Structure 1
């Protein structure tokens, strides 16, 4: 019979504790983060849903989910906004991604709200999923004009994002590198939420900002959610048949 090893036993206990901690964190995160279809379905179940847009007032003024109110943890009268919410009913929160909305959701959970839902992908997922929204801007590009660009050029790389999206800003220098390398062989089109929300809605394929779509002869050849390894992935896509 093998002897009891205190060091081995202690290591096993630490490993078990770590696994439980990781599992607990995952459960906490998944408890309030929802994909677009579930988020939308739960909103439709409510007669007067409590929807919070956790972006800045400037972003909210340009576009937002119908019926949403606008505040976040940085809002001057934050406590007053929270006081107007009904803790017995679900609260639905979104931002441009999950940063500001996730922080607000966590704070509400800490303060007695038990049914809080954060939209995975934020406003990109909502509008990109073709859900109804308010916009005070006229689209600079029509769907017909967009399709003409896609079909009249052999290879088109479309960058979809927002001027308020930090990850989207990191894509811009990569696009310039691609433009310099491929020249007229690749047509690059930049679609911003603030200028062309209806294009994003009509595509019904955007789940997050940034989203990159590569067209060949009018058809989607490659799609990428997020800008990580963008140059590498575009090079591989263009090199394939």
Structure 2
């Protein structure tokens, strides 16, 4: 009898775990858009980035929800309706994840994050409200790749924490291997059309070219040794 009860309890725990994990799994873009459309006028879309980032590019209908303190959070959260669905995004899912956690703890029952963040959204070709131009064309970009050296392109943003971590490594490589590589830095949110055409969906992303041809690509804060190895292999 005791054994059967233990088995039953373990099954219930496992079932609950599966349900919770399913709830924590971010939706696809299609699912996100469908849920947003279904919410209609009840949707509360929050941009968890800075005010400056929001002004440059944001989702249609979003409001700036940048909080620097608990007092800021309480003040802005008091303007929201707890029973209405909330949709949150940031560059990736760093700031949006923190804000989503705080909102859930504050009693907001339906909180959904944009999967992969705004960088993936833009890189996938989805629309944003923008006050900056589209930036370089693909032709402009390809002209920059014309070099006898290897060309290392750093797709990032001055607002991106991971991009800032990678930047010193790229700077060092540019100085140390000036005779073999040319470095190009692309501010992703000022070059939305280019990012879309190249399929850059994560920041930072490094792309290495040889003779105008892509020979290596890596997203994230890549170790210096790995970048050096890719350069050495391509020489």
TM-score for the superposition, normalised by structure 2:
0.77
1:130 lines up with 2:125 in the alignment: yes
Deviations 1:178-200 (A, max 9, x none): 21233243221111134323322
Asked if residue 47 in structure 1 is aligned to residue 34 in structure 2, the reply is no
Contact 2:135 2:193 (C-alpha < 8 Å) held by counterparts? no
1:118 maps to 2:110: no
- The aligned counterpart of 1:186 is 181
In 2, the alpha carbon distance for the partners of 1:219 and 1:28 equals 41
**Cα offset for 1:45?**
4.2
Asked if residue 67 in structure 1 is aligned to residue 61 in structure 2, the reply is yes
Which structure 1 residue ranges, 4+ long, deviate > 6 Å from structure 2? Answer: none
Aligned length: 219
From 215, 218, 226, give the equivalent of 1:221: 215
Query: Structure 1 stretches of 5 or more lacking a match?
Result: 1-19
User: Which position in structure 1 is the counterpart of 2:205?
Assistant: 211
**8 Å contact 1:52–1:69 — kept in the other structure?**
yes
Partner of 2:5: none
Cα distance change of structure 1 residues 101 and 67 upon mapping to structure 2, 3 Å threshold: same
Q: Deviations over 1:21-71 (max 9, x none)?
A: xx96x9469626445454344334443443110111111111111221111
Which residue in 1 is equivalent to 2:91? 96
User: CA–CA distance in 2 between the matches of 1:37 and 1:236?
Assistant: 38
In structure 2, the residue matched to 1:177 is: 172
Q: Please say if residues 154 and 186 of structure 2, whose CA atoms lie closer than 8 Å, have aligned partners that are also in contact.
A: yes
Taking the aligned partners of 2:35 and 2:168, their CA distance within structure 1 comes to 39
Match of 1:235 in 2: 228
User: Judging changes above 3 Å, is the alpha-carbon distance between structure 1 residues 215 and 44 closer, same or farther for their aligned structure 2 residues?
Assistant: farther
- Superposition deviation, residue 116 in structure 1: 1.2
> Once the two structures are superposed, what CA deviation does each residue of 1:146-177 show, in whole Å capped at 9, x if it has no partner?
12223x23532111111111221122221122
Q: CA RMSD in A?
A: 3.1
CA distance 1:139–1:182, shift in 2 (3 Å): same
Q: In structure 2, do the counterparts of structure 1 residues 59 and 238 end up closer, same or farther at CA, with 3 Å as the change threshold?
A: same
Give the structure 2 partner of residue 9 of structure 1.
none
Q: Which residue of 2 aligns with 1:82?
A: 77
